[in-house]
């Protein structure tokens, strides 16, 4: 009788432990990208949290991506949804918010990155090479500077992409063409940013 009771207690404990572990794993799992292809990483995430950008519908291949191109939206506010082009979606792979339209420093992941598709060219650029990642910062940096959180999150994102995809700093493209969203804008701190990304 005692042996049978002990078996029931052990079995019940085991089931409870497995249930708790399953619930914990589900709670800690990264959020899946939304059906329309957009996902987001909150502004507060750091370190390995950014590795979540590689949880995509189509697996990223390091040999596919050779460059990272950064530009501003040329707008005071925006998000992946509001800056999307009808019939095309977001032209970029990633968007970093400024607190107007999405959280300050929030990294929004576009459908092109989720599907590992080339970026579309922003206004002022004829085309983007298919092996070039595109990151848009929300804001008009011909009038204001990026927020400190935007710059911090951009640096983290670019460094993560550089490390995982083996992209050197000389292939991180920042155009200096004031007056167009194809550039980073006149108030973007190019030198300080370059000093913080991987070599």
CB 95 within 8 A of CB 83: yes
Write down the mean pLDDT value for the chain.
85
Both tokens of 73, joined, read: 């939206």
Both tokens of 27, joined, read: 């709670």
| Residue 37: band (very low, low, confident or very high) from pLDDT cuts 50, 70, 90 | low
pLDDT at 94 > cutoff 70? yes
pLDDT digits (tens, 9 = 90+) for 158-193: 999 999 999 999 999 998 887 888 999 999 999 999
Cβ contacts of 105 within 8 Å, gap of 6 or more: 43, 44, 96, 97, 147, 149, 150, 152, 153
Q: Is the dihedral of CA 190, 129, 167, 45 positive or negative?
A: positive
* pLDDT the model gives residue 19: 66
The pTM (predicted TM-score) of the whole model is 0.78
Angle at 124 between CA 108 and CA 80, to 5 degrees: 15
């Amino acid at each position: 009788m005692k042996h049978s009771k002990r078996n029931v207690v052990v079995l019940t404990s085991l089931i409870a432990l497995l249930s708790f572990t399953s619930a914990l794993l589900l709670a800690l799992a990264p959020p899946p990208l939304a059906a329309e292809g957009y996902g987001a990483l909150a502004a507060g995430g750091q370190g390995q949290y950014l590795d979540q950008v590689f949880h995509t519908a189509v697996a990223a291949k390091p040999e596919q991506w050779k460059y990272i191109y950064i530009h501003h939206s040329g707008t005071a506010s925006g998000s992946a949804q509001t800056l999307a082009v009808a019939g095309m979606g977001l032209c970029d792979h990633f968007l970093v918010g400024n607190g107007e339209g999405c959280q300050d420093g929030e990294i929004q992941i576009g459908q092109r990155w989720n599907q590992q598709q080339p970026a579309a060219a922003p206004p002022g650029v004829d085309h983007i090479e298919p092996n070039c990642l595109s990151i848009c910062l929300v804001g008009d940096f011909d009038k204001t500077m990026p927020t400190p959180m935007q710059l911090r999150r951009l640096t983290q994102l670019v460094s993560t992409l550089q490390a995982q995809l083996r992209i050197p700093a000389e292939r991180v493209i920042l155009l200096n063409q004031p007056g167009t969203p194809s550039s980073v804008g006149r108030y973007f701190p190019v030198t300080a940013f370059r000093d913080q990304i991987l070599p």
